[in-house]
Amino acid sequence: MTSARPEYAALNPPARRLFGTGPTTPDPRVLRALGLPVLGQFDPAFTAIMNEVSELCRFVFRTGNARAFPVSGTSRAGLEAGLCSLIEPGDRVVVVVAGRFGELLAEISRRCGAEVVAVDTAWGRVTEPDAVRAALATGRPKVLALVHGDTSTGVLQPLPDLVRLAHDRGAVVLVDAVLTLGGVPVEADGWGLDVCVAGTQKCIGCPSGMAPLTYTAAVEEMIAARRRPVQSSYLDLGQIQAYWGPDRLNHHTLPTSMTYGLREALRLIYEEGLEARWERHRRTGAALHAGIEAMGLRLFGDPAHRLPMLAIVEVPDGVSEPGVRDALLRRHHIEIMAAFGPLRGRAWRIGFMAYNAEVRNVVEFLGAFEDVLTNAGVRVPRGAGPGAAERAGGT
């Protein structure tokens, strides 16, 4: 008898089509960049790359802020870095809660010791300025935190009016643009966003693992003037900016390979141009929404504020939500996603972002979706989805 020692083969992940809400499929050039030779973090060749990443972050955020760099963690780390660097115990923070990721902002803020005032909004709706004005009216709110586009609801929250209300009350605005940056207009300077945080694995088109963010000189001063240190060392923006800035103070060992991937993903956006990229996402979303409705399915959420890169599709009566996802994965190598909270089991979350934001991908997906739904007993008019998508997505 020999002892049972498990064996581990070389990795060989299947080539899925990632049509959920992220991670999305990176451009092959981004995947190639990940494998380039590793450099030491203070090598002049690497600090030059870091400076380029900062410049490219400024480009995608549309900002002249000195501070624009990625945090070395996933988008959730970027959100926490912004919140924990701003909040001191007892600070009043108004959080718009209109989906799963608004709830997350409230949870993180509470863990930072904030007194959270939640502006609860029905899932699928945008938050009305009056509700935010009322929440800001009491106490001395320090921060208004909200999500630009929430993958749990498919809704795009208009920002400029809410930013003005916060600024009128002397509060700074922290925006979660994890989903939206690179897919729809995000104007850090134009809308007066004080802190804006993104992710890499959605419309930026890089694997998950870093969180680009930017903040104003006024926020920088607020952090420097804190009464007590930021509770986190790893996510202390004051320390991270001293590492990304000209002083290059050692903080952590920057993830070299992710930095390469992010630079390449940002460079591809720069080459395409933001306006062209927004238009590509808009056209793909028009195809997706038209195709879904032509199949006789219902889209969740306020149609006037629908995110172009997503479709939150209601599950028809009598159909197994996980069964359809499993069949798409098994038969077509396509991933779509389950929904959160009140929508769990009642909706699928479908998305076409970055490299995947092409009408032809929507057409392909709708054909597979029709196949799987038909097998599940749903009466879907044959070819209606792909046909409507092609017409709506035509240039």
Phi, psi of 322 (to 5 degrees): -70, -30
Least distance from a second copy to the Cβ atom of residue 236, Å: 8
**For a second copy, the closer CB: 165 or 328:** 328
Q: Are 346 and 315 in contact (CB under 8 A)?
A: yes
Least distance from a second copy to the Cβ atom of residue 348, Å: 13
* DSSP code for 158: P
**For a second copy, the closer CB: 294 or 312:** 312
**For a second copy, the closer CB: 76 or 289:** 76
**For a second copy, the closer CB: 87 or 388:** 87
Least distance from a second copy to the Cβ atom of residue 137, Å: 28
Least distance from a second copy to the Cβ atom of residue 42, Å: 8
Nearest alpha carbon to residue 277 among 370, 181, 139: 181
Rounded-to-10 torsion of CA 93, 94, 96, 97:
60
**For a second copy, the closer CB: 255 or 296:** 255
Least distance from a second copy to the Cβ atom of residue 75, Å: 7
234 class by beta-carbon count within 10 Å (0-12 exposed, 13-18 middle, 19+ buried)? middle
The 3-state DSSP composition of the chain as helix, strand, coil percent (nearest 5) reads 45, 15, 40
**For a second copy, the closer CB: 264 or 293:** 264
Measured CA to CA, the distance from residue 42 to residue 45 in angstroms comes to 8
Least distance from a second copy to the Cβ atom of residue 14, Å: 6
Q: Are 335 and 351 in contact (CB under 8 A)?
A: no
